[in-house]
Amino acid sequence: MNGFRSGVKGQLVLVTGGAGFIGSAVVRELGKSTRADIVNVDKLTYAGNHDSVGAEAFDGRYTFVRADICDAVAMQEVFEAYRPDVVMHLAAESHVDRSIAGPAAFIETNIVGTYTLLEVARTYWEGLGLSDPEKANGFRFHHVSTDEVYGDLYGTDDLFREATPYAPSSPYSASKAGSDHLVRAWQRTFGLPTLISNCSNNYGPYQFPEKLIPLMILNARDGKPLPVYGNGQQVRDWLYVEDHARALIRVATEGEVGETYNIGGHNEVTNLEVVERICELLEELAPYKPEGVNHYRDLITFVADRPGHDLRYAIDASKIERELGWVPSETFETGLRKTVQWYLDNGDWVEGVTSGAYRDWVEKHYGEQAVDRANDG
């Protein structure tokens, strides 16, 4: 194990994508439960927001570098300047619908960006092997990925296991699958000490409101339609983001090099049920509704399905539970309640991220959905 969980100062963790939803939860958790120094490299795309990090709490242990992981020179400078012990690579384009509307950025960041980072990490690690063999021995590159690389589990009771063959359906999941393959190849061919984790759908505070749960909470709060794709019977396996962040730190520090760990919360729920539960929670937590709304659930609107939509994801997380002793601490009930309350309480953060670019996306994507719906009808 690398030591920083036990409080040894001097370990430096380089997080990519640390201004995003999960990356910021990782940075906050590293700040809270370890004494590691943290360098956060993020391009600050539409999905990145530095306010999510809460860096003021870190007592001088935190550095932010605004840079693109596809920029090899910038990445080299970061590695040379900060000499990381551990890399936790989360930077990615992450939204399936955007990958359908425009795949290029997904190929660029998820595949080319991961390749760039692997090459820079390899050069750095090989150099360490000559100058500081002990540090080279402890070095780890943890690549954070998704269960969507495994494809669709519809029509079976099976779960995704670490050995499940890859069968990605969307440009997003295909680009993540490509990046996972690169990471495995760099481990096997060059010996780079890598680890991979594949996690199910996350939810919780600071998630950009283009994803199902925050979108539904905020639309309902504002009395807008709740757009459920197709019949809403698709199943996702939900994990509270802070549980994921703790699992990632466990993998990065205690996982076995070369291994893959599946992470999930054992919470299989249909999309329609998720939306209905959000509506029920809002009835309790936000009883004063927008004008014209009798019940939040009346806002549920079935819209055109997502092309290539995977019908079911579900994770077997027994390996990380057994080998690394990680278990989630939130149930879907407790986590969803906290999440709804957080979005109700944090209007300023929501205001800050829902810029013109966000409004353009909503207009374009759901505007088109509305047209499809009218044509279907």
Residues serving a catalytic function are 147-148, 172
Using CB under 6 A, which of 13, 15, 39, 70 touches ligand NAD? 70
Using CB under 6 A, which of 22, 30, 36, 128 touches ligand NAD? 22
Q: Which stretch binds ligand TYD (CB under 6 A): 186-194, 207-215, 253-261, 348-356?
A: 207-215
Contact call for residue 242 and ligand NAD (CB under 6 A):
no
Q: 82 vs 358, which CB is nearer to ligand TYD?
A: 358
Q: Are 206 and 28 in contact (CB under 8 A)?
A: no
Q: Are 20 and 48 in contact (CB under 8 A)?
A: yes
Query: Residue 20 has which token pair?
Result: 């995003």
Using CB under 6 A, which of 5, 23, 174, 216 touches ligand NAD? 23
CA distance 168 to 354: 30
Contact call for residue 330 and ligand NAD (CB under 6 A):
no
Binding mask 240-269 for ligand TYD (x = CB under 6 A): ------------------------------
Strand partners, 300: 226
Nearest distance from C-beta of residue 16 to ligand NAD, angstroms: 6
Using CB under 6 A, which of 14, 15, 19, 340 touches ligand NAD? 19
84 phi-psi bin (left φ>0, alpha ψ -120 to 50, beta other): beta
Using CB under 6 A, which of 5, 43, 250, 312 touches ligand NAD? 43
**Nearby residues of 54 by Cβ (< 8 Å), 6 or more positions away:** 24, 28, 31
Q: Are 252 and 88 in contact (CB under 8 A)?
A: yes
Query: Residue 275 has which token pair?
Result: 């939306």
Nearest distance from C-beta of residue 209 to ligand NAD, angstroms: 11
Which residue shows structure tokens 């077997």? Answer: 316
- 349 interacts with, out of ligand TYD, ligand NAD, none, CB within 5 to 8 A per kind: none
CA distance 153 to 160: 8
Q: Are 274 and 216 in contact (CB under 8 A)?
A: yes
Q: Are 362 and 211 in contact (CB under 8 A)?
A: no
CA distance 173 to 169: 6
Contact call for residue 361 and ligand NAD (CB under 6 A):
no
Nearest distance from C-beta of residue 270 to ligand NAD, angstroms: 17
Contact call for residue 113 and ligand NAD (CB under 6 A):
yes
Q: Are 207 and 270 in contact (CB under 8 A)?
A: no
Among 225, 204, 222, 224, which Cα is nearest to 213's?
Answer: 204
- 23 interacts with, out of ligand TYD, ligand NAD, none, CB within 5 to 8 A per kind: ligand NAD
Using CB under 6 A, which of 4, 11, 14, 17 touches ligand NAD? 17
Q: Which residues bind ligand TYD (CB under 6 A)?
A: 96, 201, 211-212, 215, 227-229, 234, 236, 271, 306
Contact residues: ligand NAD, CB under 6 A: 16-17, 19-23, 42-45, 47-48, 68-70, 90-94, 109, 113, 144-146, 176, 199, 201-202, 208
